[in-house]
Chains A and B, each alone.
Chain A
Amino acid sequence: MSRLPKDPVVTRLPYEPPTIIAHKNGLANKFGGQSARRSLPRIEGVPVAELVERFGSPLFVFSEHTLRRTYREVHRAFSLRYPKVQLAWSYKTNYLDAVCRVFHDEGAWAEVVSEVEYDMARRNGVPGSQILFNGPYKPEPALRVAIEEGAHIHIDHHDELYTVEKIAKELGRKLPVTLRINMDTGIQPRWDRFGFNFDNGEALTAIRRLHTGGHLVLEGLHAHIGTFMLDPQAYARGTAKLAELALAAKRDTGVAVKTIDLGGGLPSRATLHGQYGPGADSKPPVDDYAEAITGALLAAGFPQDELPTLLLESGRALVDEAGFMIASVVANKRLANGTRAVIVDAGVNVLFTSFWYRHDVLPAEDHGGMLEEAVVYGPLCMNIDVVRPSVLLPPLEAGDAVVFRPVGAYNVTQSMQFIRLRPAIVMIGENKQVDLIRRSEHLDDLKGPELLPERLRP
């Protein structure tokens, strides 16, 4: 028998302003009629209000704990199933030094797609031998540096093949190279712009050509079958085709392929605009991708001592959930048709991925009140600056903080100084210390490189 407390404490509920909204029918599906109010007062235990007070708004926030946990989760899924696994951090997804260094500290190599990214990786202390150099355009001087430093060159087309061959000839030694392969993996759109096609025989022809040239050695095969791939079986088909090609290459040239690289494309928990239901629920667990890829590799028929190393160039799946954007409500207004609009201080200039994701928007504090459908606009004087075309939000007041998530992937690298300068970025460490990893920009950061012709000066 339970005992009642002697003095039951009666707390007064906070005042809720009355709200009148139109009653809507037609929401009788399992996701409809959402009324649960959600908020995110803290990120990794640090109050959002405190972050805004210290670093201003808008503010990118990265969680080191989530970065490391996600990396380990992905690495574990693959390494439990295959003996030789190496992840390479995809620089273009987010090349903040602090983020890159967390991944390198966890053991990731670097995957870069330009000489600029190559130099970033080198500055982060990554030796050439741990850099995968991808991309359709690698200027010859950049290729030379990368080759000299032992980087892994992923050849995208025949013209690049000839350039690398020329460099090898000049250096007088055989250079190991990886070929980029594209193929039909049963999904749409079919990505066939990178590398040599498998299905029409171009890839094997390129391998024979490479071998016959005598200056290059086939080290690996690489495929980037798509992005935000929600079907693990597409990877199984892609892997099987790469493995088949590797075994055919061994048969034709006698050279065993040392690496099979399945590129990136693993989804995060973000929700795409066209997606039905939340992304976190639609996304298959990373174990399913690992099972698909490693299962296909182990079943391909490689001799046990010639199992190739599995390389993965994940970006989004590793970083997206670790990134948050804190923004502040600037104004509430009603559009002509009665739709509620909320203007926040972070727009598509810093949340570029709003174009294809429905970011989760969470008030930092629970204000009570009914949820109402709203459109969230950014601060730009541009009609396209829509962060969420439609989202259920509780009543918010100017100055209230909201948190967008997940925004770790592509937003920092694709953000731009358009109309507004770019905001500060902080990282919350494992023991909740908050470090500024990129200060907010000054006008000089934007105008510094500009030169004014003499005649236009006063």
Chain B
Amino acid sequence: MSATLAPRLRLPARVEGSLRRLALPYASVIFGAHPLAGLLALAATLVVPAHGAAGLAGLASAALWARLLGRPLAQREDGFYAFNGLLVGLALGLMFRLSWSLLLVLVLATLFTTLVGTVLRDLAERYIGLPMMSFPFVIGTWLALLAATRFPGLEIALDPAWAGQLGAGVLPGPVELFLHSLGACFFQLSVPSGLLVLLALVVLSRWSVVLAVIGFAAGSATWLALGGDPAALEGHLLGFNFILVAIALGGYFVVLSPASLLLAALAASTTAVLAAATLGALEPLAVPVLALPFLLTTLLLRYALGLRATAGSLHLVRGVPGSPEQNLARAAFRDRRYPDPLLPLFHLPVLGRWTITQGPHGAVTHQGLWAHAWDFEVTDADGARFAGAGARPEDYHAFGAPVVAPAAGRVVRVVAHLPDNAIGDVDIVNNWGNLVLLWHPGDVYTLLCHLRQHSVTVKEGDTVSLGQVVGKVGNSGRSPLPHLHMQAQRSPEIGSPTCPSAFLHVLSQEGSDGPLRYLTNATPATGHDVEAAPRDALAQSAVSLPAGIAIPWRVVRQGQIREDRWVSTIDPLGARHLASSSGARTGIYADTTYLTTLGYTGSPTDLLGLFHLGTPRLPLITNPGVVWEDTLDAGPFVPLWARMLHELARPFTEIGAIRTTTRVRAGERGLVVRTELDVAALVGGRGALPDAVEVIWAAGRGPVSLRAWRGGALLVAAEVTA
């Protein structure tokens, strides 16, 4: 996904594995996972060899303890224990001369750190849901430092003078301080170390460098503006706290955006104040603040951001975070294909085609606390809501149509006895009329109102399944003509204030001439026609792609023929992939409503890449005439320079997207999915991209044919051979 500057090294797997295990903890300190960045950071610690050696000793010792303490493999492999041990080693290495006593203390301090890490991690995973980052290191290092006051064998040797002099005075003061602060992430206080860490950061993420500068500038400026001692910035190693806070909140935990850049600056400023407070608090103990200001600010803000009712302009990174660039690309292209976990999602509460006559924030009654609601009515081809005179509720198309549960749940309240109003009358005493109030998992409720008298078919306490009929559309309550009012709410009282919600798997049309669009996670507005997209059996059977199946391709490209073989895989966590014999790989996500491909890696011209381009999202429907639009990350299909340009521009404007328009129809051989690719908005690397891809899916078999065109000329034609 994200651009890396690293050349692809070909090393024996065993060597590469060891190198990876060694480098990963170093990269983790600056929120990365790239081995080259780790090796550069390792080099930074080795500018003073004794420091580097202490760091390596801490790393090895912690890794060993984690193993001896029986930590699960997954926890050891993510480098959590090793990087905390590494930091303990580096911190102690900075303060004490390398000696056997130090090694002994290090071994025991890393044991303690690993134990603290085990407990903190467990508690945090259970109750907070946040990573503990370098917290165990801070506690472990304090312990070692407090203990050291009783052990005269440990000889204090802060900062060898020669290291501090390296490159000193060459660069302007603030730049030198910035580099020192970067080095201080690894407790290295020389310009060369700082430069090596900067290089590591560049390898990992260009935006992290920008965030580091923002954080350093904002934190230091706040410190100085409040009259803080300039020497303390360097002496107490505060600068690296500002840098790490900014990276963590500007792009690692929060999706990069103009707002997140502001958040990074604000958080760094807060860190400056917190640093002063912790400095004062810890003074009696004579221990340094280490990474405490960074940890407190980051965890507090991250936790608080997670408790917001709506996402606003700051979006949290979902799942395991990667580099800021990766997180942003994922949010831009991938996350919007999944439901937003903060938003309750429902299927339509009615069958067939309906018109939203009042959407959220509607002009009539959907206002204020009750803004997030929908009114559904039926209009026919001529725009009329009724047949005949329209004088009786029975004349209305909507009247008597079934109302179905928009999600599985339980019936909380039922009102069924109120009479249906004559057309034009309203009952403002029993505003909501006959109704069914449903509870759904996630403690969200839906209210379905104005039902027909005595039409409710469920009782309080019943469990209902998705799509089960609960009543019929009527005209009771404050309803002048037959319609259904639906709202989602957070409490079980009739007519509680509404909360935002959205609909899944919907076909929608704006006006009678607009195209029928496939939407999901959608909030249709007043005037839109909506209907539940059918869940098509042919489509479901065609895209099931069971794990383990192999798809052998015969690919014809410019007269040349090659064989490719795709294998569908599934990992223990349920993530599914298609892996090609060419080395290319793409993720697959499918539920009962759509299939999508995610995170393609491989050559820009590989058949699997074309498949990825041709399958941006595949709703499991066969209605001809339905279109859906999507945007794909051009990243894997453009040169490195273009990719980096896209990533730098992405928080502000999107210049690295391929817009897709897809149509599906049932053809001779199965489901024909044709995607037109629009690269007009793409800067750089347009040349290699096709402008149309057609994939045919056969029932029970998966893809059987793929063709791609550019400018009307056939680029690639591939057929499954078995």
User: Does A355 reach chain B (CB closer than 8 Å)?
Assistant: no
Residues B400-414 near A (CB distance < 8 A): 400-402, 404
Is B468's CB under 8 angstroms from A72's CB?
A: no
Contact at B378–A107, with CB atoms within 8 Å? no
Q: Are A80 and B350 in contact (CB under 8 A)?
A: yes
Most buried by B among A73, A80, A81: A80
B667 close to A127 (CB less than 8 A): yes
Q: B508-546: which have CB < 8 Å to A?
A: 531-532, 534, 537-538
Least Cβ distance of A223 to chain B in Å? 21
Known contacts A69-B381, A73-B380, A127-B666; is-contact A81 B623 (Cβ 8 Å)? no
* Chain B, residue nearest A72 (CB): B381
Whether A80 pairs with B466 at a CB distance below 8 angstroms is no
Residues of chain A within 8 A of B468, CB atoms compared:
304
Does the CB pair A80–B382 fall under 8 Å? no
Q: In the complex, which residue of chain B has the Cβ closest to the Cβ of A295?
A: B402
User: For B400, what are the chain A residues with a Cβ–Cβ distance below 8 Å?
Assistant: 287, 291
The answer to whether B465 and A304 touch across the interface, beta carbons within 8 angstroms, is: yes
Which residues of chain B are near A413, meaning CB under 8 Å?
Answer: none
With a CB–CB cut-off of 8 A, which chain A residues contact B352? 76, 78-81
Judged by a CB distance under 8 angstroms, whether A83 is at the interface is yes
> Does A209 sit at the interface, judged by CB under 8 A?
no
In the bound complex, CA of A271 to CA of B132 (Å): 81
B397 within 8 Å of A (CB atoms): yes
Complexed CA–CA distance, A232 and B537 (Å): 29
Question: Is A84 an interface residue, CB under 8 A from the partner?
Answer: yes
A residues less than 8 Å from B538 (CB atoms): 129
Question: A291-B400, A298-B402 are contacts. A81–B351 as well, Cβ < 8 Å?
Answer: yes
Instruction: Determine how close the nearest CB of chain A comes to the CB of B664; give it in whole angstroms.
Output: 13
**Residue A68 is within 8 A (CB to CB) of chain B in the complex:** yes
Bound: A122/B400 CA distance, A: 38
Q: Find chain A residues with CB under 8 A from B668 CB.
A: 127-128, 149
How many chain-B residues does the 8 Å CB contact rule pick out? 31
Q: Which of A69-122 contact B (CB under 8 A)?
A: 69, 72-73, 76, 78-84, 107
Enumerate chain B residues within 8 angstroms of A81, measured Cβ to Cβ: 351-352, 401-402
Interface assignment of B387: CB less than 8 Å from any CB of chain A: yes
Q: Is B59 an interface residue (CB 8 A)?
A: no
Task: Decide if A258 is an interface residue (CB 8 Å cutoff).
Answer: yes
B402 / chain A contacts, CB cutoff of 8 Å: 80-81, 294, 298
- For residue A130, CB closer than 8 A to chain B, the reply is yes
Closest residue of B by beta carbon distance from A129? B666
Residue A285 at the chain B interface, CB threshold 8 Å: yes
In the complex, what's the smallest C-beta–C-beta distance from B400 to chain A, in angstroms?
Answer: 7
Q: Which residues of B329-355 have CB atoms within 8 Å of chain A's CB atoms? A: 350-353
CB atoms of A76 and B382 under 8 A apart:
no
**Smallest CB gap from B405: residue in A:** A304
Interface status of B22 (Cβ within 8 A of chain A)? no
Interface string of A55-72 (1 = CB under 8 A from B): 000000000000011001
Q: Is the CB of B353 within 8 A of A76?
A: yes
Q: Is the CB of B469 within 8 A of A298?
A: yes
Residue B552 at the chain A interface, CB threshold 8 Å? no
Tell me which residues across on chain B come within 8 A of A68, comparing CB atoms.
381
B381 surroundings in chain A (CB, below 8 A): 68-69, 72-73
| Contact between chains at B666 and A80 (CB < 8 Å) | no
Bound complex: CA A69 to CA B402 (Å)? 23
Please, which residues of chain A bring their CB within 8 A of the CB of B382?
A: 69
Cα distance, A291 to B401, chains bound together (Å): 9
**Bound Cα distance from A170 to B296, whole angstroms:** 73
Residue of A80, A129, A130 near B351 (CB, 8 A) is A80
B467 within 8 A of A: yes
Complex CA gap A14/B401 in Å reads: 51
Q: Kindly provide the distance from the CB of B722 to the nearest chain A CB, expressed in whole angstroms.
A: 15
Name the one of B350, B469, B623, B699 contacting A107, with C-beta atoms under 8 angstroms. B623
The answer to whether A79 and B467 touch across the interface, beta carbons within 8 angstroms, is no
Q: Is the CB of B532 within 8 A of A83?
A: yes
A121–B502 alpha-carbon span in the complex (Å) = 40
Interface string of B659-696 (1 = CB under 8 A from A): 00000001110000000000000000000000000000
Assuming A76-B380, A80-B397, is B467 touching A304 (CB within 8 A)?
Answer: yes
**Within the assembled complex, what's the spacing in Å between the Cα atoms of A291 and B397?**
12
Measured CB to CB, the nearest residue on chain A to B623 is: A107
- Residues of chain A with a CB closer than 8 A to B666's CB: 127, 129-130
Interface string of B369-388 (1 = CB under 8 A from A): 00000000010111000010
Q: Which residues of B contact A307 (CB under 8 A)?
A: 467
What's the Cα separation between A83 and B405 when bound, in Å?
12
B380 touches A83 (CB 8 A): no
Contact of B397 (CB < 8 Å), options: A76, A78, A83: A76
CA distance A90 to B524 in the complex (A): 36
Chain B residue at minimum C-beta to C-beta distance from A303: B465
CB within 8 Å for A79 and B537 given contacts A69-B381, A127-B668, A285-B387: no
Cβ-defined partner of A83 (8 Å) among B351, B398, B465, B699: B351
Q: Mark A141-155, 1 if CB is under 8 A from B, else 0.
A: 000000001100000
- Kindly supply a per-residue 1/0 record for chain B positions 458-484, scoring 1 wherever the CB is within 8 Å of any chain A CB and 0 otherwise: 000000011111000000000000000
Instruction: Kindly name the residue among A83, A149, A298 whose own CB sees the greatest number of chain B CB atoms within 10 A.
Output: A83
Which of B352, B538, B624 gathers the greatest number of chain A CB atoms within 10 Å?
B352
A81 to B532: give the CA distance in the assembly, Å: 12
**Minimum CB–CB distance for B508 against chain A, Å:** 16
Q: How far is the CB of A164 from chain B (nearest CB, A)?
A: 19
A contacts, CB < 8 Å to B: 68-69, 72-73, 76, 78-84, 107, 127-130, 149-150, 258, 285, 287, 291, 294, 298, 304-305, 307, 309
Q: List 6 A-B contacts (CB under 8 A).
A: A69-B380, A76-B380, A76-B397, A79-B352, A129-B538, A129-B699
Task: Return the 10 tightest CB-CB contacts between A and B, nearest first.
Answer: A79-B352, A80-B352, A80-B401, A304-B465, A72-B381, A83-B351, A69-B381, A127-B666, A304-B468, A127-B668
